[in-house]
Amino acid sequence: MMAKDQATMDVTLTMDTAQPRRLDQMVQGVLGGAMARPEGPLKVRGAATYAAEHAVADLAEGVLVRATITKGKVKAIDEAAALKLPGVIAVLTGGPLLRNPAQGQASEAPEQVLPEVHYFGQPIAVVVADSFENARHAAQTLRVTYTEAKAEVDPETASTVERPKKSQIETGDFDAGFQAGAHQIDALYHTEPHTSAAMEPHASIARWDQGRLELWGSYQMLKHNVAELADAMGLPESKVRIHAPYVGGGFGGKLGIAPEAVAAAHAAREIGRPVRVVMARQQVFDMTLRRTETAQRLRLACDATGKITALAHEDRVSNLPGESYSEPVAQGTHFLYGGADRRFTHEVARVHRPAAGSVRAPGEAVGMIALECAVDELAEAAGIDPVELRLRNLPKTAPKGDLPFSENALGRCLKEGAARFGWDKRGTTASRRDGDWWVGLGVAAAVRTNVLEESIARVTLEPDGSATVATDMTDIGTGTYAILSQIAAEMLGLRPDQVTVKLGDSDLPKSSGSGGSFGAQSCGSAVFLACQGLRAALAKRLGTTEEELTLKDGTATSGNRRVPLADVLDSGLSATGHIKPGDTEDDFAIAGYGAHFAEVRVHAFTGEVRVARMLGIFSIGRVLNRLTAESQCHGGMIWGIGSALSEELQHDRRDGRIVNHDLAGYHVPCHLDVPQLDAVLLEDTRDDQANPIQAKGIGELGISGAAAAIGNAIFNACGVRVRDFPATPDKIFPHLPFDDWG
């Protein structure tokens, strides 16, 4: 690492070794506290400008047109009638309008070539008019004819099933180890498809200026989105600029460029004026990425003491033909529990449903439903308390690769959570009744892999002693504005309101973006490094060292000398921080850990399930902002309630179309579904191998395992073991103990 005493300097760190806990020596006292989001008042007043709300002159409106077949080719589009309607400007198809625009390929196709169709609801055209109403009317009157082809839509009967070689793993002799176990579990679990369902729909405004495309969009990872959009439009990346200062939720659905952005850019170029395209909720469900359904076979064997000796996690997911992504279902299973004899198989069924992609903690969110329910089944078979069985099977090193853990507080989370939740009062199966309701408790471990992504941020100390943080990082409702201002304020001895944070502009230094729970630690580390550079430059000007310099309340102190920070700055000072992943990610198993506890009530005569209370206790390294971190935990636990009890995309088995493609048919948990949630953070933990600020991701850890805790509580309440999620009443009612009906 090197810093230069000049107006602008670069500070770069590659994570090859454990990092000192430098933040612990800072004295401003703003990091880790429950600081409210600085942009919160704007959002509450409706003054925060989201993608569709930017004021752009001479704006035309575009509406996407969906395919009404599952597979085939558009034979003809009769646009004559539509073009005669009032206000209609153009009907555009072909070129960039692909089944998955993030794939690019547009420059290889003629602009008006008629598209091939790969799934029901795929965008095939965009109609542009002077108003949204006129564009929608024309889109509804457009006449499209097709040449249809046979399409497979059911993953269970798909004729093409691929097995990626790297996902087939076996250590030891699983078959022999499984048969030798004193207790065995062999169970098949299913989870239904999910969608991101962010509150803000996908929306984009595109404008061209002297050959450069400027787009206001609702996106999570701008440096990648620029590359995708440039590829889709046949442009160099330097000719694309994306703005996303506020994003109304992402959950993976806005990681990659979606059809509305490409359609807006395409249409704006063709008609020579700015175009806005906003997806209707049904279009968001149909045209953006879904989470795949899963079929998971879990086989576990343990010895007489409950020690797991054999473990197999075999799964099948689905995606469109040709798509490279597949849900990493067993991602958490690889390192959560021990067992010498292990088998992992992963299958991808090729079907013509909308493309599958990352949604809300890909891998662990659904894989740990099956794993943690199977562990509970093993505890039941062995006659061992479920918390105790988990504690007996915590490995000393990660089973995959035999890597040391950078930090693993799962045991502590289980023990402290059990004590807080009153686990000792848990009764035996179907032993507690409150009127018409069976009552039960359940537990599940939580784990989420932790990733450090390359990230750059620029921090400037202004002449008046205030600071400005600039990066293309996004805030998707997770608290980025707050956290980055806190890190800079802590390092530079300022109040958070003296720090201005500029985000969501792809012309700013390129960050990790928001996704995979890596945003805070990646971009936060870049801000930290930039501030270290500034501190070193200030120390040199004061004739001291960075370690001996104290910055607090806008004052620089070294020895007996105290100087207002503004007096040291002259015309200001700027530094760029650049963090890169290095050897630590290969030398250590780095993850966040936690434990979920749930109490449920199951109606004795209907099978309705209500969650009465939940506790999540989490180890995430350094807590950067307690308020936003707890909010993320609560959100994850609520996602767990949805995964456990209500959320499922329903595909028509004849043509693969999504039949519940709105928030009326796809039930995310509402206020009445969610009880009082208790999220506890182990604030004294640090992970020196993760990054220079010793923090780990929280956004997706909160969902991982949460649904399994509810499923396990259902079994404890009424004795019904649900293996097909969500656990709707029809899956519980037929198996309830009705002996007391009289």
Yes or no: say if 610 and 672 are a contact pair by the CB < 8 Å rule: no
* Per-residue 3-state assignment (H helix, E strand, C coil) for 592-617: EEEEEEEEEEEECCCCCEEEEEEEEE
Are the beta carbons of 183 and 301 closer than 8 angstroms? yes
Length of the chain: 742
Active-site residue identified among 200, 372, 453, 700: 700
Kindly calculate the radius of gyration of the chain based on its CA atoms and give it in whole angstroms. 27
- Side by side, the strands of the sheet bearing 573-581 are 8-15, 573-581, 455-461, 467-470, 499-502
* Dihedral sign (CA 669, 672, 673, 677): positive
| Residue carrying the six token digits 């693993």 | 408
Tell me if residue 700 is catalytic. yes
CB 718 within 8 A of CB 732: yes
Cα–Cα distance, 457 to 527 (Å, whole number): 6
Distance CA(599)–CA(36), nearest Å, equals 30
Task: Report the DSSP beta bridge partners of residue 447.
Answer: 593
CA distances from 435 to 286, 287, 613 (A): 43, 46, 18
Strand partners, 602: 438, 609
As a whole number of angstroms, the distance between CA 742 and CA 736 comes to 14
Ranges assigned E (strand) in 161-244: 161-162, 169-171, 183-191, 194-195, 203-209, 212-217, 240-243
Are 252 and 359 in contact by the 8 Å Cβ rule? The answer is yes
- How is the beta sheet containing 116-117 ordered, strand by strand? 116-117, 72-78, 143-148
Between CA 92 and CA 268 the distance in angstroms is 11
Instruction: Indicate the DSSP class of residue 490.
Output: H
Scanning 28-160, the segments in alpha helix (DSSP H) are 40-45, 80-83, 132-141
Of 553, 649, 633, the residue nearest 594 (C-alpha): 633
Please choose, from the candidates 624, 488, 492, the residue with its C-alpha nearest in 3D space to the C-alpha of residue 553.
492
Helix (H) or strand (E) holding 523: helix 519-541
Rounded to whole angstroms, what are the CA distances from 654 to 57, 122, 359, 657? 45, 16, 25, 8
DSSP 628: H
Identify the bridge partners of residue 12 per DSSP, sorted by sequence position: 578
In whole angstroms, what is the distance from residue 298 CA to residue 443 CA? 18
β-strand partners of 66:
123
User: Catalytic positions, please?
Assistant: 700
